[in-house]
Amino acid sequence: MASGNLDLAGGFQAALQAWGLSPGLAHVLWLPLPMLLVLAAALVGVLASVWMERKVSAAMQQRIGPEYAGPLGILQPLADGLKLLVKEDVIPARADHLLFTLGPVLVLVPVILSWLIVPFGQNLLISNVGVGIFLWIALSSIQPIGLLMSGYSSNNKYALLGGLRAAAQSISYEVPLALAALAVVMLSNSLSTVEIVQQQNSAGLLSWNIWRQPVGFLVFWICVIAECERAPFDLPEAEEELVAGYQTEYAGMKFALFYLGSYINLVLSGLLVAVLYLGGWGFPLPVEWLATVLHQPLDSPLVQVVTASVGIVTTVLKAFLLVFFAILLRWTTPRVRIDQLLDFGWKFLLPISLVNLLLTAALKLVFPTLFGG
Does residue 32 have a cis bond before it (omega within 30 degrees)? no
The answer for residues whose C-beta is within 8 angstroms of residue 185's C-beta and 6 or more apart is 133, 191, 196
pLDDT digits (tens, 9 = 90+) for 301-341: 777 778 888 888 899 999 999 999 999 998 888 888 889 99
CA distance linking residue 14 with residue 334, whole number of Å: 54
CA distance linking residue 372 with residue 165, whole number of Å: 39
> What mean pLDDT value characterizes the chain?
87
For residues 288 and 326, the model is more confident at: 326
pLDDT digits (tens, 9 = 90+) for 225-273: 999 988 899 887 766 666 677 888 888 899 999 989 999 999 999 999 9
For residue 210, how far is the Cα from the chain centroid?
18
The answer for residues whose C-beta is within 8 angstroms of residue 15's C-beta and 6 or more apart is none
The one-character DSSP state at 73 is G
Return the domain boundaries, the chain: 90-371
The one-character DSSP state at 2 is P
Instruction: Sort residue 70 into left (φ over 0), alpha (ψ -120 to 50) or beta.
Output: left
pLDDT exceeds cutoff 60 at 131: yes
Instruction: Sort residue 238 into left (φ over 0), alpha (ψ -120 to 50) or beta.
Output: beta
Q: What is the pLDDT of residue 4?
A: 46
pLDDT digits (tens, 9 = 90+) for 53-108: 999 999 988 999 888 888 888 898 889 888 988 888 888 888 888 999 999 999 99
Helix %, strand %, coil % of the chain (to 5): 70, 0, 30
Instruction: Supply the pTM of this predicted model.
Output: 0.91
Q: What is the pLDDT of residue 320?
A: 95
Instruction: Return the biggest CA–CA distance within the chain.
Output: 70
